[in-house]
Amino acid sequence: MSRLIVVSNRVTQAASGKATGGLAVGVYDALRGSGGMWLGWNGEVAEDGAQIEVSHASHDGIDYCTFPLAKRDYDRFYRGFSNATLWPTFHYRADISSYQRKDYEGYLQVNRDFARRLAPLLKPDDIIWVHDYHLLAFGRFCRDLGIQNRIGFFLHIPFPGPEVFRTVPPNRELAQAMCAYDLLGFQTGADQQAFGDYCERYLQAQRAGNVLSLQGRLVRTGAYPIGIDPASVTEMSRANRSRQVVALKSGLADRKLIISVDRLDYSKGLVERFNAFEQLLEHGPGHRGAVSFVQIAPSSRSDVLGYKEIRRELERAAGRINGKWGELAWTPLRYMNRSYERSVLMPLLRASQVGFVTPLRDGMNLVAKEYVAAQPPDDPGVLVLSEFAGAAREMEDGALLVNPYDIEGMALTLDRALRMSLAERASRYESLMKRLRGYDLAKWRDTFLADLRDARQPRILPGDRAATELKAVGL
């Protein structure tokens, strides 16, 4: 089998054998299975002008090729164009997006540098899997260097509607660059559709089924909703007897628990969520003293515009709510601005009666899936989920969907979740688990890689379904 090369902005802790997040766990097994290489930033920032060396290390048959980013690249590529322009805009926050040409130049430069570092390490039949919004233009630079290998790209965050994407000034150039990949994977059909709509409308691409034809190139697109490994989440949720979990349970006494776990990010809808909990207390006197809300949200990207403000706003909201409603023996809302190990988080999810996952926009949201997999089957909790999380598309039958801009609606839904009968909870849980098991993390990875391996086959395999599609676009 051909070797798999993974390229992502950050090469995660997998290098030290501690893979945790979806991306790390998801690709780690595939890399081990086929033998592979993982290339990307090691998380360190070097002084400008320092010689950037690629370090090579091997664990479990995987070659890790990592390097630091120069300070200037970190500022322009990472803090700048990736996280101050693309991240907010792709989450429909064009209002707080900021754009500077020098940041975009830095972004292109780093994408080019990644391609130059990869080129000498490649073998002709390697297949390359590139991850996320930091590397939209990487494929184009690979092609400029004459790299012919199959290259697939997966976007972990939403792709916005065409009119929102157009607010990113170099939108045409970016979309054209994305079409240098052989396969573009999105979290949902809606994201895939939005990209296709943009290309048809503004780049005069032709579209036939999942294939786009643009300036003589064909690019295949697909929706690959990222999953979890439900069995390992269930196991982890059961296993832990850590001090923190025991302390939380004894502090709750007989109270019910609503839980939320996020990175501290303005896309996650945390303030709206706090306000909804406050409305629950205001309009449902029966819940006062009877339910607690725990929000775990460690800071992320604290040196990027917008992140300090959201932290201050949350602290204010938590203080106001506890000041107004708290009692000596009961703290309504516990907001933890710190991180916990997964081995503590999963049992916390299990101990709670409601998983409150209400991003304003999210590519997928794996916490929603983890919450369900962590539940005890004989007494499962209820997932309250934003309709704007990618996960809502797969989980609408079992979760209670809410609009995170509708504070009263969220409060009413919390009330419903807290009162739901065991029979209804069990039936919702069963239907959610069926989906989680059927389309898990391995399936996500294997489906994407199978499509990538096929992506250019139609040219030499007439009769394939895609060949028909290609004919329809006149090729």
Q: Write out the residues near ligand ADQ by the rule CB under 6 A.
A: 21-22, 156-157, 226, 261-263, 296-298, 339-340, 345, 362-367, 370
Q: How far is the CB of 356 from ligand ADQ (least distance, A)?
A: 13
Contact predicate 67/34, CB 8 Å: no
Q: How far is the CB of 427 from ligand ADQ (least distance, A)?
A: 26
d(CA 425, CA 380): 6
SS3 50: coil
Which residue lies nearer to ligand ADQ by CB, 345 or 417? 345
| Active site annotation includes 156 | yes
Q: Which residue has the tokens 């086929």?
A: 34
Single out the catalytic residue among 91, 131, 156, 287.
156
Contact predicate 295/274, CB 8 Å: yes
Single out the catalytic residue among 182, 229, 262, 362.
362
d(CA 351, CA 260): 12
Which residue lies nearer to ligand ADQ by CB, 298 or 409? 298
Q: How far is the CB of 129 from ligand ADQ (least distance, A)?
A: 13
d(CA 157, CA 133): 7
Q: How far is the CB of 260 from ligand ADQ (least distance, A)?
A: 9
Beta bridge pairs of residue 219? 212
Distance of CA 184 to the CA centre of its chain: 16
Contact predicate 139/181, CB 8 Å: yes
Q: How far is the CB of 366 from ligand ADQ (least distance, A)?
A: 3
* Pairing assessment for the beta strands 206-208 and 211-214 based on DSSP bridges: antiparallel
Count of beta carbons in the 10 Å neighbourhood of residue 216? 6
Which residue lies nearer to ligand ADQ by CB, 367 or 466? 367
Which residue lies nearer to ligand ADQ by CB, 117 or 263? 263
d(CA 114, CA 40): 7
- Quick one: which of 126, 175, 134 has its CA closest to 151? 126
- Quick one: which of 321, 318, 283 has its CA closest to 297? 318
DSSP characters for 146-171?
T--SEEEEE--SPPPPHHHHTTSTTH
Which residue lies nearer to ligand ADQ by CB, 50 or 336? 336
Q: How far is the CB of 108 from ligand ADQ (least distance, A)?
A: 23
Q: How far is the CB of 385 from ligand ADQ (least distance, A)?
A: 12
Q: How far is the CB of 121 from ligand ADQ (least distance, A)?
A: 26
* Pairing assessment for the beta strands 127-131 and 4-10 based on DSSP bridges: parallel
Which residue lies nearer to ligand ADQ by CB, 284 or 298? 298
Indicate the residue type of 194. A
Contact predicate 396/368, CB 8 Å: no
| C-alpha separations of 151 from 129, 183, 228, 265, 440 in Å | 6, 7, 24, 31, 23
Contact predicate 371/350, CB 8 Å: no
What's the DSSP call for residue 47? P
SS3 421: coil
Phi (first) and psi of residue 194, to 5 degrees: -65, -40
Which residue lies nearer to ligand ADQ by CB, 78 or 325? 78
| Helix pair 407-419, 270-283: axis angle to 10 deg | 60
Contact predicate 330/255, CB 8 Å: yes
| Helix pair 230-239, 422-438: axis angle to 10 deg | 130
| Active site annotation includes 131 | no
Which residue lies nearer to ligand ADQ by CB, 362 or 469? 362
Contact predicate 296/345, CB 8 Å: yes
Which residue lies nearer to ligand ADQ by CB, 339 or 468? 339
Q: How far is the CB of 408 from ligand ADQ (least distance, A)?
A: 25
Catalytic site positions: 156, 362
